[in-house]
Structure 1
C-alpha cells in the first residue's frame, strides 16, 4: 500500500507542497492508525446497512402512505434516481480521497478548510441525529412481536409511534440499543464489521423471503398505485403538495450510502472498492426497496381501514405471514435495526475522528485517539452514542419524535451533501476548458472511477435534486413537526435547529482557531481540483 491511509505524520495537518506522488492521488504521507480489515462485502455492508431498507421501510411506510395513499409509491423512483446522481459524484471523489470523514475531507479540498469545517460540523450533528432516529425504529418492531416490549404504560398501552406512550417507549428501547452498539463499536472494529456483515446477510435473506410472500399474496393489481386510495390528507388539500410530503419516506430511507467512504482507511484497495460499493449499496437498496413498497401496497388486506397509515408495513407482514411467521420476519427486521444503528454510529465516529485528528474540534487529542488493541476511535464512538441518547431524552415526551427527528436528521444530511456537490460543480465548471484527462489508476491498475464529459450535467442535476429535497424535508409542516397543531416553535423546529447548529458551529470554529493559532490549510492539498477530477 502506498502511504495515503490515515493521519498525517506529526499529528496536526500541515501543507506539504512536495508530497509523494501517487497516480490520481495527492494525499501525502499519512500514518496508518485505523486497522485495515474491511473487505469488499463489508464495505458494501456499511452502506447497505446504513440505508437498511427493512428497517426504514418498516419504520416509515405509514408516513408516506398517510400523506399520499397508494400513489406515494412513485416518490421512490424519483428519490432513487436523484440520489444515484449524488452517489456517482461521491464515487468520483472516493476514488481520489480514500479518507475517513469523507464528506468533511472532500468538501475541504474542494472549497477550502473553513467551508469544509462547517460541512463536517453539520454532518456530525446529522449523523448523531440519524443514529438516534435509527435506534427508535425498534418501537415499530418489538411491541408487534411481543406486547411485553411496550414497557411505558404497560403492555396494554398504545404502541403507535405517534402516541405519547409509544414515543416514550421508543426512547427507552432506543437508549438500550445505543448502549449495546456503543459497546460493540468501542470494543472491536472487527466485531463491529462481522456483526454488520452478518446483519446485512440476514437482512438480504429477509427481504427475499418477504418479497416472495408479498408477491404471492397480492390482493389488487398494478393500477392501484396511480390513485391516492388510503390517504389521510383532506380532500380539499393540495394533492401535489401532499404527494411531495409523502416523498419524505423515500428521502428518509435512501441516505448513508456514502458511509463506505467513512471506512476507506479501513478498507482493502479503497480506491477500487469504495467507489463501487457506494453506488452498489444504493442501487441494491433502491431496487429492493421499490419492490417492498409495491408488494406491501398490493398485498395489504385493506387500503382504507387506516391500518397502513397508522401501523404501516408490519401490519401487512403480520397478515401475509400469519402470527408466528410475521413475528419471525419482524425479528429479522429487529436485527436489521441493530445493524443499521451500528453502521450509522460507526460512520459518525469516523467523521468525528477525522476532524479531530486535524485538530479541528475541541478535545481533539482525546477524540483522535485510536485504541492500539482494537483500532477503534473509542472516545469519538462514545461521543456519538451519548449524543444520540441525549437527543432521545430531550424528545421523550414529543409524540412527533418519529416524523420530526427523521425529517430533521435527513434534511441536515442533505445540507451536508450539498457541501460537497456544490463546490464540486463549481470546480468542474471552472476547469471545464482545461481538457484534463486523469490517468490515475487504482490498486489493480485500472483507471480511477470518473464521470468524464458527463460530470457537469450529472452534477447539476444532483444539486437541483438535493436543494428541492432539502426544502421539502425542512419545510415547517405541522403534520411532521407539530402534532399538537398549535405550537409554533415545534412547527419551525427544523429551521430553528439548523440555525442554532450553525451559530454553535461559528462559536466552536472561532474558539478552535484562536486556540490553534493561525488558520490551518488542509494537509496535502492538490494544486487545483483539475489534478484530482476527471473533467474531460
Structure 2
C-alpha cells in the first residue's frame, strides 16, 4: 500500500470513525472507544474488586498474612511484561493483539498456537470471572443462594456453593453476551461506568477498613493464619495464585485497538495505567483487609474472605452496600474479558485461521461488532462451568488453569520479542515510527533487551508455579490423580487438538497469504478527530 493510501485510509468516515485500512484489513470495526474506555477495558479485566474478593480467602488460607508479599513480586514481574506489550501495541494496534504480535515477531505458526492457547484461556477466564458472582451476591441477599436455599453453605468450595456459582455464572454470561452484541459503544459505556463504580468502591473500602484497624500494617510481616506444616516457601508460592490471577488482562486495551481513537498514542499508556492503578489499589485493599479483620486465626477469613470482613466489621447494611460495588465490578470484569476473547477470535477468523471462520469473521453492519464470536465465547464459558458443576474445586482449578494458559500465551509474545531483540540488538529489534500526532512511538530504548529477558524469566517461573499439580488447587478430594494433573492434561489435549487442525488444514500457508506484515503509519495529514471520554 502506498503512502498516500495509508494517509487517506486513516481519515474519519462521516461522524463514525471506522478502523483504518493501513494494516491491510477491511475497515469493519467502528472506533467507539476513547481514552478512558480503553483504560477501563484493561482495568476491568484485571478488576481488583472482583479478583481480590474472589481469591483473598484462598491466598490467606494458603500463606497466612505474609501472602501479601506475593503481590508486589507479581506486580513487578507483570510490569515488565506490560512494558513490552505497550511497545508492541504502538506498532501493531490490531484486534487479537497477542496473536498479531506473536505472528509478526516469530511467524504465523508460532503466532497461531499462541492465539489458539489465548482464546481457550480467555474463554476459561470468562467462566472464572462469572462465578465470582457467588463470592458477592449471596452476601448481599441470601435469596441469591438458589441451590439448597438461603440457609445452604454459600462458600464456593462447598457442594451447594459450587453448584450455585455455576447457576449465577451462566445467568451473568447471558447478560454480558447481550451487551456485547448491542455494540462497542454500549460495551464501552457499560465498562466505563463499571470501572468508575469500582474505583470509587476501592477507595471507599480502603478508607473504611483503614479506619477500623484491629492491628497495624506490620501484620504482613508474619505468617499468622497459616495452618500448614513444614517449610513456608512452598505455601508462599501456592498463595501467589491470588496475585497471579488478579494481574492479567491489561493487554485488553490492545485487543480493542482497532476500535480505539488514536490507538498508537492511547493504547500503550492505557495498558500501563491499568496495571499500575490495579497494583496500587490491590495492595492497599489487601493490607486494609488484613488490618481490619476481627480475627486471623478462627478460620473465618480464609473461608469468607473480604466479604466476611465487610459484613462483620461494617454491619449488614453498610457491608451490603459496599458489596454492591463489588457486584458491579464482577459484571464489568466478565464483560471486558468476554469482549477481549471475542476480538481475539475475530482477529484469527478473518485470516481463515479457525474452524467456521467465515461465520466468526462476520461483523454486523448495524452494530459494527462481531456478534457470533461474542456468542461463541459466552457459550464456551457456560459449557466450561456446566461440565464442572459437580467439581468442588471448580473455582481454584479454573482460576489457576486459565491464568496459566494466559501466561503461556504471553510467553508466545515476549520470548519471540527477546529473540528478535538479541538478533537485531543494534537496531533494537522493532521498527521506529510515529503516532497519530506525529510524536515518536512508545519505546523502551536500550533497556528493552534487559526488560524483555527479565519478563521472560518471570513468566517461565510463574507458569511452572501455576501448573504445579497441587492437591489444594486442583483436587480437593485429595485422592484423584487425574484431577491433580488436570491442568497439564488439559493444556496437552488443547495443543494436540490444535496441532491436528493446523496440520490437516494446512493453515501455515493459508495464513501467510492473508497475513499482512505492517509496522507503522505515517503521521496523519489532517487534524486528529476529537476523542470522546
Distance, in Å, in 2 between the alignment partners of 1:517 and 1:316 is 56
- Among residues 368, 390, 402, which one is paired with 1:397 in the alignment? 390
Alignment RMSD (CA, Å): 1.9
Displacement of 1:434: 3.9
- CA pair 306-345 structure 1, distance change in 2 beyond 3 A: same
Q: How do 1:99-248 and structure 2 match up within 5 A?
A: 99-233=94-228, 235=229, 237-248=230-241
Structure 2 counterparts to residues 421-500 of structure 1, below 5 A: 421-434=414-427, 439-500=432-493
TM-score, structure 1 normalization: 0.92
CA contact (8 A) 2:53 2:135 kept: yes
Distance 1:289 1:425 in 2: 30
Contact residue 513 and residue 519 of structure 1 kept, 8 A = no
Change (3 A) 1:355 1:4: farther
1:310 paired to 2:303: yes
Matched, 1:368 2:364: no
* Contact 1:232-1:309 within 8 A present in 2 as well: no
Q: Deviations over 1:317-336 (max 9, x none)?
A: 11232110000011110010
SS of equivalent residue, structure 2 residue 324: helix
Offset of residue 28 of structure 1: 4.2
Gaps of 5+ in 2: 1-5, 11-19, 521-533
1:65 is aligned, of 34, 56, 60, to 60
Change (3 A) 1:512 1:170: same
Q: Structure 2 vs 1, CA of residues 436 and 378 (structure 1 numbering), >3 Å: closer, same or farther?
A: closer
Q: Counterpart of 2:362 in 1: which secondary structure?
A: coil
8 Å CA contact 2:420–2:429 kept in 1: the answer is no
Structure 2 vs 1, CA of residues 42 and 402 (structure 1 numbering), >3 Å: closer, same or farther? same
- Report the Cα offset of residue 232 of structure 1: 2.8
Q: How does 1:285-296 map to 2 (within 5 A)?
A: 285-296=278-289
Structure 2 CA distance for aligned equivalents of residues 113 and 419 of structure 1: 12
CA distance in 2, matches of 1:420, 1:494: 22
Which residue of 502, 505, 528 maps to 2:495?
A: 502
Query: Larger deviation: 144-153 or 125-134?
Result: 144-153
Of residues 262, 271, 274, the one that matches 1:269 is: 262
- Cα distance between partner residues in 1 of 2:105 and 2:148: 52
Contact map agreement 2:352 2:510 (CA 8 A) in 1: no
Q: Which whole-Å CA distance do the structure 1 matches of 2:393 and 2:238 have between them?
A: 15
The aligned counterpart of 1:520 is 512
1:414 pairs with 2:407: yes
Alignment partner for residue 331 of structure 2, among 316, 328, 338?
338
CA distance in structure 2 between the partners assigned to 1:433 and 1:346 by the alignment = 38
User: Are 1:260 and 2:249 counterparts?
Assistant: no
* Alpha-carbon distance in structure 2 between the residues aligned to 1:491 and 1:127: 22
Distance in 2 separating the partners of 1:28 and 1:263: 15
What is aligned with 1:324? 317
Compute the displacement of 1:425 (Å). Answer: 0.3
Partners in 1 of 2:297 and 2:136 — Cα distance? 22
Cα distance in 2 between the residues matched to 1:125 and 1:256: 14
Which string of whole-angstrom CA distances, capped at 9 and with x for unpartnered residues, describes residues 249-307 of structure 1?
00010000000000000000000000000000000000000000000001111100101
Asked whether the 8 Å contact 1:3–1:28 carries over to 2, the reply is: no
Label 1:69 to 1:94 Cα distance change in 2 as closer, same or farther (>3 A): same
For the 8 Å contact 1:404–1:481, the answer to whether it is kept is: yes
2:42 alignment partner, one of 39, 47, 66: 47
Name the CA distance, whole Å, in 2 between partners of 1:522 and 1:31: 12
Verify the 8 A CA contact 1:73 1:294 in the aligned structure 2.
yes
1:17 aligned partner: none
Q: Secondary structure at the match of 1:309?
A: helix
CA contact (8 A) 1:86 1:459 kept: yes
Shift of 1:522: 5.7
**Residue range with higher mean Cα deviation, 134-143 or 439-448:** 439-448
Partner of 1:385: 378
Give the secondary-structure state (helix, strand or coil) at the position aligned to 2:94.
coil
Distance 2:24 2:426 in 1: 31
Tell me if the contact between 2:422 and 2:429 (Cα under 8 Å) persists in the aligned partners: no
CA-to-aligned-CA distance 1:420-470 (integer Å, 9 cap, x gap): 000000000000134789551111121100100000100011001001110
- Pair 1:177–1:437, CA change in 2 (3 A): closer
The CA distance in 2 between the partners of 1:3 and 1:355, in whole Å, is 26
Cα separation, 2, equivalents of 1:526 and 1:343: 27
Is 1:4–1:28's contact at 8 Å kept on the other side of the alignment? no
In the alignment, the residues of structure 2 paired with residue 3 and residue 118 of structure 1 have an alpha-carbon distance, to the nearest angstrom, of 34
Q: Check 1:356–1:299 CA distance in 2 against 1; reply closer, same or farther (3 A cut).
A: same
Taking the aligned partners of 2:292 and 2:173, their CA distance within structure 1 comes to: 34
Determine the C-alpha separation between the residues in 1 that align with 2:478 and 2:360: 41
Query: Which residue number in structure 2 is paired with residue 56 of structure 1?
Result: 51
